[in-house]
Amino acid sequence: MVNTNALIQEALELVSMVGDGEAADGTLAASALALLNRGIATLNQDNYFATAQDRRDAQVTGELYFRKLEEGEVKEATIDMEPPEAIISVSRQVGIRFVPMRPSNDEEMDRYISQALPVAWTYSTREEVAPSGEERTVGILRVNGKGTATVRIYFNHVLKLRTLYDNIPVSPLYHDALLYTLADLLCTKYKLADYAADMARLKSVALSKIDVNTLSNRQMNNDIPDCGNYDDAYYDGLSGNGFSVG
């Protein structure tokens, strides 16, 4: 557990914007809080601060949207939820199992629009105006097939933006990442050249620790086929998962 106010105070002391034990004034604390939330949003986007992994099953034909609908609002091809910052992976249902699809980008997919079932996907966000007149964020999952497919979408629950006196529910592993991310942003905003290089280096070290921990606990084995299963040739030939069948 990390206290937001204490974290801000520690970061300000690191770059000598306040003295040891000297409390930051309200204006400086508010500015640092805005920078901390900007840092959290960036780390969420890069999947550093996942508090849990979730998934949704849905049918998709071309595009599927994530948006938080207002009361009484109905939208086609929409999952009613706040859009994920990023999607980890998408799998297409083939029989009784889900086969990973290939992550792609819009330019590549525009060249290879399939008239059959999709094999690739990309994800982006944009802003739109809701019926109430308020702006909201919409997530867009795009697949490259014209046929309708059932897909399973995997994404992380992210760390929410904080207020000044929140306790942030993360383990000590993430304390340094938050601390040095904030210190690095303070150096950029206030042009603290004497501290900038050290804070950038310490931030990189802290984030690399998260990478190592994630790799140790979540092995990336999506692309490893089961060997010796007599169903493999049938499934691989049917699903377009990228494996060659000799």
For the chain, percent of residues with pLDDT exceeding 70: 84
- Checking if the pLDDT of 246 tops 80, the result is no
221 pLDDT exceeds 70?
no
Q: What is the mean pLDDT of residues 11-21?
A: 93
Judged against a pLDDT cut of 70, whether residue 65 lies above it is answered with yes
Quick: pLDDT tens for 80-133: 998 988 898 999 999 889 999 999 998 888 887 767 788 899 999 999 999 999
Cα torsion for 208, 213, 214, 219, to the nearest 10°? 120
11: pLDDT confidence band, cut at 50, 70 and 90?
A: very high
**Residues 122-147, mean pLDDT to the nearest whole number:** 93
- Number of C-beta neighbours around residue 17 at 10 A: 19
| Phi/psi at 168 (5° precision) | -90, 120
Residue with more model confidence, 32 or 212: 32
